[in-house]
């Protein structure tokens, strides 16, 4: 068969996602603050959208109770008279001119377009490197030493530890010096930094604030902090200096036997060491507090849990009646203006519908969560039931991906605190009576059991398994160990108090 190229016509169907569907999915994904900014942006660029004022909303609620045709007709005449006032008519005529000319005329539109490109930005915060460089400038160092100090500071990570060896730091700074001399075509011999220079500078850096900065490992970090606190001759310093491996393993009896002191005294000294900061740089590396605005509110009213959307600060949008009236007169517009008006009006109508759809979807999801997790709201985390996205999706008749978008980065203010919606979802384990138990509830039970244990006789993983089985929870010892590690709880041997 001879190979070649050929053309042919074929009919077929292909599924394409409408761009507005993508935008609708994005709106479901947006947290409250992001949605607020998005709606403000749409309000600025689309003349067919306008804000619903609080007074107007109250009037609409009051007018909804008036159902007679005569009152409705009188209300329409009153609104027509109101929009015909001189102040409003001037403003409306200006917007009509802008609408008819496709935003080519001057006035406020140009100012609005400029403003929408300028968003407030966060002011840069000072970090750990700035804190250290400020201290270096106060020292009486030569320009050459300041260069080496800056190289050291650049190699300190956010925990405050030195992330490179002295040899690596020397190699990097000397390569910079040699390259600078080569670019300057300086034939004189360039003095490079030596190992002695690096060790001297390390001592300078480690003397800066916070104590423990510039350490190369945990052992050195603790030594530096003990030295700064004037505790070099204490039992705690001896533990770090001479018995660090046993200290990490909590072998109090073995250390006490070697030092000739009671094991209880060793444990007390270890407790003092536990108050030191193993990551001293974090105090200057961490950013500011992140404040959460809940998207939903759950309140208990007369024994029932009610769900509300927290949209008080969300712009309430509606279609502009005046511009809808203008758009109906097709004879005033050319082809280009008609296309613009049609697209903007359609976008405005869709946006109003999409906002309401997002609101209803979030309420459906949260109502199901509240019904499913009622025991949690009554008794706490140990009563949390297992729940998956698929269960919610099947219950409310939506796709699993839609539920995932609704719950992502969303928070609910509940009688149990402000919680992410993802908190209510967890895998299930089987109990002895065949019912499913939430993995998160089991972790909460383990945490409670450990908190209430006898410090001199802590619960082992096997003891925790037996206590959980007594409550009807079937669980393996390795699963208990995994959950204990996730909670940051040490093994029983390391929790034991002497």
Share of the chain above pLDDT 90, in %: 24
Average pLDDT over residues 166-186: 82
Bridge partners, residue 412, by sequence = 296, 419
Average pLDDT over residues 290-300: 85
- DSSP for 343-403, please give it: HHHHHHHHHHHHHHHHHHHHHHHHHHHHHHTHHHHHH-GGGPPPB-HHHHHHHHT--HHHH
Report whether pLDDT(111) > 70.
no
- pLDDT value, residue 214: 93
More confident residue, 79 or 16: 16
Which residue is listed with tokens 């004189």? 188
The predicted model scores a pTM of 0.57
Task: Report the distance separating Cα 230 and Cα 39, nearest Å.
Answer: 59
Task: Report the distance separating Cα 286 and Cα 301, nearest Å.
Answer: 40
Average pLDDT over residues 55-78: 49
Average pLDDT over residues 254-279: 90
Task: Report the distance separating Cα 363 and Cα 353, nearest Å.
Answer: 15
The model's confidence at residue 56, banded by pLDDT at 50, 70 and 90, is: low
Contacts of 410 (CB under 8 A, 6+ apart): 31, 295, 296, 362, 420, 421
Task: Report the distance separating Cα 173 and Cα 193, nearest Å.
Answer: 8
Lowest mean pLDDT of 83-87, 225-229, 475-479, name the range: 83-87
Report whether pLDDT(245) > 50.
yes
Report whether pLDDT(41) > 90.
no
- pLDDT value, residue 310: 87
- pLDDT value, residue 196: 93
- pLDDT value, residue 122: 47
Can you tell me whether residue 285 is helix, strand or coil?
A: helix
Contacts of 446 (CB under 8 A, 6+ apart): 464, 468, 480, 483, 484, 487, 489
Pair of tokens at residue 144: 């050459």
Whose CA is closest to 170, among 188, 146, 196, 190? Answer: 196
- pLDDT value, residue 91: 40
Mean of the per-residue pLDDT values of the chain:
78
Task: Report the distance separating Cα 141 and Cα 207, nearest Å.
Answer: 14
DSSP 67: -
Residue 352 and residue 319 in contact, taking contact as beta carbons nearer than 8 Å: yes
Task: Report the distance separating Cα 101 and Cα 337, nearest Å.
Answer: 7
- Which range has the top average pLDDT, 66-70, 181-185, 198-202, 435-439? 198-202
Lowest mean pLDDT of 242-246, 305-309, 338-342, 383-387, name the range: 338-342
More confident residue, 113 or 139: 139
Report whether pLDDT(258) > 60.
yes
Angle in degrees, CA 154, 157, 163, rounded to 5: 80
Which residue is listed with tokens 């045709």? 69
The model's confidence at residue 189, banded by pLDDT at 50, 70 and 90, is: low
- pLDDT value, residue 83: 37
Report whether pLDDT(108) > 50.
no
């Amino acid at each position: 068969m001879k190979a070649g190229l050929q053309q042919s016509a074929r009919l077929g169907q292909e599924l394409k996602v409408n761009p507005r569907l993508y935008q609708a999915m994005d709106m479901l994904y947006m947290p409250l603050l992001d949605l607020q900014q998005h709606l403000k942006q749409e309000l600025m660029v689309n003349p067919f959208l306008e804000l619903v004022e609080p007074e107007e909303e109250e009037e609409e609620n009051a007018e909804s109770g008036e159902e007679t045709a005569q009152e409705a007709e009188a209300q329409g005449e009153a609104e027509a008279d109101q929009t015909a006032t001189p102040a409003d008519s001037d403003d409306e005529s200006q917007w009509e001119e802008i609408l008819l000319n496709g935003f080519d005329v001057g006035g406020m539109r140009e100012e609005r377009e400029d403003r929408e490109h300028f968003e407030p930005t966060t002011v840069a915060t000072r970090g750990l490197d700035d804190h250290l460089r400020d201290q270096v400038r106060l020292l009486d160092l030569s320009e050459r030493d300041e260069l080496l100090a800056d190289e050291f500071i650049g190699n300190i990570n956010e925990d405050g530890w030195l992330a490179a060896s002295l040899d690596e730091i020397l190699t990097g700074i000397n390569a910079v010096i040699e390259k600078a001399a080569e670019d300057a075509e300086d034939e004189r011999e360039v003095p490079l930094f030596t190992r002695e220079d690096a060790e001297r500078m390390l001592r300078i850096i480690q003397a800066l604030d916070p104590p423990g900065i510039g350490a190369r490992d945990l052992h050195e970090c603790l030594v530096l902090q003990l030295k700064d606190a004037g505790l070099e001759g204490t039992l705690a310093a001896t533990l770090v200096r001479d018995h660090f491996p046993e200290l990490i393993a909590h072998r109090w009896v073995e250390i006490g036997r070697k030092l000739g002191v009671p094991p209880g005294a060793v444990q007390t000294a270890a407790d003092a060491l536990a108050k030191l900061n193993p990551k001293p740089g974090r105090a200057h590396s961490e950013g500011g507090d992140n404040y959460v605005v809940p998207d939903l509110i759950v309140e208990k009213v007369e024994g029932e849990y009610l769900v509300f959307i927290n949209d008080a600060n969300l712009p309430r949008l509606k279609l502009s009646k005046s511009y809808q009236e203008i758009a109906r007169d097709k004879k005033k517009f050319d082809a280009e203006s008609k296309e613009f008006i049609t697209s903007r009006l359609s976008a405005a109508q869709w946006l109003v519908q999409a906002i309401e759809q997002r609101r209803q979807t979030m309420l459906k999801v949260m109502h199901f969560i509240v019904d499913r997790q009622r025991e949690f709201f009554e008794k706490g985390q140990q009563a949390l039931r297992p729940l998956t996205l698929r269960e919610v999706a099947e219950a409310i008749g939506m796709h699993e991906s839609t539920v995932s978008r609704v719950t992502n980065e969303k928070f609910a203010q509940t009688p149990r605190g402000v919680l992410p919606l993802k908190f209510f979802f967890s895998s299930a384990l089987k109990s002895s009576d065949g019912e499913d138990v939430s993995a998160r509830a089991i972790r909460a039970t383990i945490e409670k059991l450990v908190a209430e244990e006898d410090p001199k006789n802590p619960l082992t993983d096997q003891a925790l398994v037996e206590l959980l089985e007594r409550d009807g929870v079937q669980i393996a010892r390795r699963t208990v160990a995994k959950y204990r590690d996730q909670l940051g709880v040490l093994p029983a041997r390391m929790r034991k108090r002497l």
